[in-house]
Structure 1
Amino acid sequence: MNTLTKAAFAAALAGSTAAPAFAAGLGEPAPEPIVAAPVIPVAPSTDWTGGYVGAQIGYGDVSAPGLDGDGVLYGVRGGYDWDFGGWVLGAGVDYDFADIDLGGGPDNLESVARLKLRVGADLGQTLLYATAGAARAEAEIGGVSRSDNGWFAGIGADYMLNQRWTVGGEILTHQFDDFDGSGIDVDATTASVNASFRF
């Protein structure tokens, strides 16, 4: 085999091996692009089940025949809630100290205690509720210390800052008929804000 034939053979051999490699390169599939899963923000879970203790401060307006006054109330609160998913049931107590002048002289409202039930809508971090129950007021009327039982009803809302702390507010109306046998019907409206520690 002469030199020219060897060169032609070598060129033909090189072409036959390169062509399949080139063809194979064209046949490889392109890599699929990687698509990241969308990130969906999840609201922090809230559960209103549990106990709480706290403090409150508010304003009271008291009225009765011949008696009328308004002023600041402040006190403590506590209770327990059960969260049933879309709604919450709770029971609690609170006690407000007061020194509301009822029109001059010795007449004044000294305190209000409440035994409460509440039911509300669980809106996540917000609880909107209605509340009602028994109330007991202590007052000095006509220079005599008196106390009587009555009832109250109202609405409120609590907002969960985190799993331990809430802030909220309530508006309540109270009724005491024939206050301690005095023949005087006493009405009172209170509006208050509160902060509570949950456990």
Structure 2
Amino acid sequence: MMKTLKLVQSSMIAAPLVLAAGMASAGGLSEPVQTVAPTPVPVAAAPMMHSSDWTGFYAGGQLGYGRVSSDDLVENIDGVTYGVHGGYLYDLGSLVIGGELDFEGTNGESVADDVQVDTIARAKLRVGYDAGDFLPYFTAGLAQANVTFSGSELSDTGGFAGLGAEYRVSDSIRVGAEVLQHQFEDFDGTGFDFDATTAAARVSFQF
């Protein structure tokens, strides 16, 4: 009986020791937890922004269509126009002002009237609104036309006004369009009055 009691007491003492040893052993065998670093997310490059300043010299070319009408003509004169232009703009913030010179040739003629419009040159004042990459503008000035009438070369100066718009493709390239209305009275002392309308697509390079 005493031996049995001692055995039970020994078992009760040994059990907690065995359990503690097992827990210590299990803890020692466990592997450390590894933390996985997050995968870096690529950041998209910021889009290229154009300069918002229209200030500077520019030059380019234009291609369009023109029509001359008059009560003194049997038929209207229609033809393709083509030429070059150059000028300077100054950006004041919302307002853009500047001046431009352009020169155009044309193949417009009226066989019935024996009249051919040869060239037209313009001195322009431009006033526009800075809308970022978009520039709508008003233009007006003087135009000098050279006309061949019945074999004689005539030249005279009139006025014009019109509207245009340009879009900035890059800091150095702009595309646009322009519509102009011209008026000539008593052309070169002949008593010949006429109006001319031109519409042209333009490409300009700023530098």
TM range (shorter): 0.7 to 0.9
Aligned equivalent of 2:68: 62
- Where is the strand percentage greater, Structure 1 or Structure 2? 1
* Deviation for aligned residue 1:176: 0.7
**2:188 is equivalent to residue 174 of structure 1:** no
**2-side partners of 1:114 and 1:120: how far apart?**
18
Gaps of 5+ in 2: 1-45
**2-side partners of 1:77 and 1:173: how far apart?**
17
* Deviation for aligned residue 1:104: 3.2
Equivalent position SS for 1:85: coil
Aligned equivalent of 1:123: 131
- Alignment counterpart, residue 139 of structure 1, candidates 147, 159, 163: 147
The correspondence of residues 1-199 of structure 1 with structure 2, limited to 5 A, is: 44-64=50-70, 65-67=72-74, 68-104=76-112, 106-199=114-207
Gaps of 5+ in 1: 1-39
**2-side partners of 1:161 and 1:42: how far apart?**
12
Q: What percent of counterpart residues are identical?
A: 47
**1-side partners of 2:82 and 2:112: how far apart?**
21
Q: Deviations over 1:5-42 (max 9, x none)?
A: xxxxxxxxxxxxxxxxxxxxxxxxxxxxxxxxxxx989
- Given that 2:157 and 2:184 are in contact with CA atoms closer than 8 Å, whether structure 1 keeps it comes out as yes
Q: Deviations over 1:81-135 (max 9, x none)?
A: 0001111001010000112012436311001100000101000000000000000
Equivalent position SS for 2:93: coil
- Given that 1:69 and 1:103 are in contact with CA atoms closer than 8 Å, whether structure 2 keeps it comes out as no
Equivalent position SS for 1:180: helix
CA RMSD of aligned residues (A): 1.8
Equivalent position SS for 2:51: coil
Equivalent position SS for 2:108: strand
> What letter is aligned with 2:73?
G
* TM-aligned CA distance change 1:145 to 1:41, over 3 Å: closer
**1-side partners of 2:68 and 2:204: how far apart?**
26
Larger Rg: 2
Equivalent position SS for 1:45: coil
> What letter is aligned with 1:198?
Q
**1-side partners of 2:156 and 2:145: how far apart?**
6
TM-score w.r.t. the length of structure 1 is: 0.77
TM-score w.r.t. the length of structure 2 is: 0.74
Aligned equivalent of 1:12: none
* Deviation for aligned residue 1:44: 3.7
* Deviation for aligned residue 1:46: 1.5
